[in-house]
Structure 1
């Protein structure tokens, strides 16, 4: 294992110390661990997310003006604990409630729900919206249903902008739910990755093979084959996304009327000719930017062939899996509201424009 670390046990603390040194506009807390905007939140809904470390810049890299107000990093590939989320939400509580954006992994969903219950006991209104955009699977050992992937980044950007515009909590929850149903993702890997604590690959992948349908925690994909060209891989992923049928499932959300968690039926869109989309080609941590642009070139060609118009794009490392070589593709259908909010100014360590 070759990594730029000191002691494996200190990886998260040392990364957070570096983040604090580099970005004085953020408050970085260590007991419990969370990152929040230094200026706080006043008289509006706060937007909070979090997840295991190892996916940087997700989530702490998206804390700042026009995106997240706070983020909680867990241990590598491990959900943050409820006490982290509670303290992070209290630190940015602007008196109008909290929207928590949650990736669909069992630990994340459970811990964010526990945090929401604890916050409500203190009189803070909370809504949890789950992102489950991975078209590679419906169920796996790692999550109940589809996993949360790249649409998470778009949801954090759009909802952060909406919070600044003054959306109330119900409006923000509905917007986040819409972004989730408008987004679909799929990823692949050329190599595995190694967590600092274990020092061994999370799965074995021969030199001449690739894994299709991987998740972001180093879990193996849904199929394995000999390595194909960039164009062939991009064609596979993009076609799967564009031709994915509408997926009906139930996600757990808080119902204010019954004051209980209820299963809400959610249905994805199916992409149609004429749709406009945000396209994201995301590196998994170990793929050169030049290769990601090769993928984007083919993605644009396949999208055009299906009558899909890419109106905005992101190419780079946005939601990674340590040093894994590979990439994921995310397409999010846009309407006037989503596009306006995506274009709104943002200033975070990892994403900024319009400033």
Structure 2
């Protein structure tokens, strides 16, 4: 294992301190390291809080700032944050309009955020993201996994919160975005968790893991490596079939790298996916390409399609200023 680190025990702490120092104009790190919070809080705005295991950067800390999250709670690598992190984050960023928790559908995350909401008291609502169509259940989840579509929920809900939307309609909006989002990923290599010191799974040079999860969980099947067009065709067909009648009209196409994939290859996959989707009647009106929801050093990518109505398009276009996503400011 070759990684830039001083110690397995300090890698997360040192990374968080470096992250906070590099983006001190946008955010601050709680002195205990339990959460990252937006530097300039807006009074009377619903506070958006998310989080999860580290190793998926820039999700979630990279999306703290204007137009997205007010706080993010980082767990250890691929490990859920603890309820006390959510409680302390909520106390720090709730300016009187309540908090919305955005939670990826993994059992540890769901359980701990639920406990955090109960312990926090006050006005707290939660939205579970579950956009992965690859598998219905895994050892990590009951139901579908929450993956790259989570970032889209955070962006659209974040813009709505910034404009003053109240807690209950904001939660309904976030649920609607999640319901319109579908994702699937493919891995060409494994990831290596620092504490483990070896790849999470073995995969041959001529193989790919189809439908892989963002922690290296198994997908639909192990298969021989295929062309980009063939990979995109299977993923896009699965997404469109799963959307059913929703898969007509305007959409966001989001091609997300897992951390070890060159940008050139991500745009190649975008080119393939866009052509396939438009042949199937999906009109791509917004696009995003890059590594936003990663899995440490895994080579591979996911494709996310979010069907967009007029309100969602307007909110997607609103200004955002975070470490990981910014435009319009």
TM bin (shorter chain): over 0.9
Aligned to 1:266: none
- Residue pair 2:182, 2:243 contacting (<8 A) in 1 also: no
Aligned to 1:314: 288
Structure 1 position 170, deviation (Å): 0.3
Which moves more between the two structures, 198-207 or 58-67?
198-207
Aligned to 2:45: 44
Q: Does 1:353 align with 2:327?
A: yes
Deviations 1:101-149 (A, max 9, x none): 00000000000000000111xxx21001000010011111110000001
Cα distance in 2, alignment partners of residues 328 and 28 from structure 1: 30
- Residue pair 1:40, 1:91 contacting (<8 A) in 2 also: no
Aligned to 2:112: 111
> SS at the partner of 2:59?
coil
Deviations 1:217-267 (A, max 9, x none): 111212111101111111111111011156xxxxxxxxxxxxxxxxxxxxx
Cα distance in 2, alignment partners of residues 221 and 199 from structure 1: 22
> SS at the partner of 1:118?
helix
Q: Does 1:337 align with 2:319?
A: no
Aligned to 1:281: 255
Which moves more between the two structures, 25-34 or 12-21?
25-34
- Residue pair 2:135, 2:219 contacting (<8 A) in 1 also: no
Aligned to 2:153: 155
> SS at the partner of 1:33?
coil
Aligned to 1:21: 21
Structure 1 position 89, deviation (Å): 1.1
Deviations 1:28-48 (A, max 9, x none): 024252100112231121011
Cα distance in 2, alignment partners of residues 193 and 271 from structure 1: 34
Aligned to 1:204: 202
The structure 1 residue matched to 2:300, chosen from 326, 329, 349, is 326
Aligned to 1:220: 218
Which moves more between the two structures, 22-31 or 77-86?
22-31
Q: Does 1:168 align with 2:175?
A: no
Gaps of 5+ in 1: 247-269
Q: Does 1:102 align with 2:103?
A: yes
Gaps of 5+ in 2: none
Structure 1 position 190, deviation (Å): 0.3
The RMSD of aligned alpha carbons is 1.0
The structure 1 residue matched to 2:134, chosen from 133, 136, 158, is 136
- Residue pair 1:64, 1:348 contacting (<8 A) in 2 also: yes
Deviations 1:9-57 (A, max 9, x none): 1111111111111111211024252100112231121011000000000
Aligned to 1:264: none
Map 1:222-261 → 2, pairs under 5 A = 222-244=220-242
Cα distance in 2, alignment partners of residues 181 and 21 from structure 1: 36
Cα distance in 2, alignment partners of residues 158 and 227 from structure 1: 35
Q: Does 1:271 align with 2:246?
A: yes
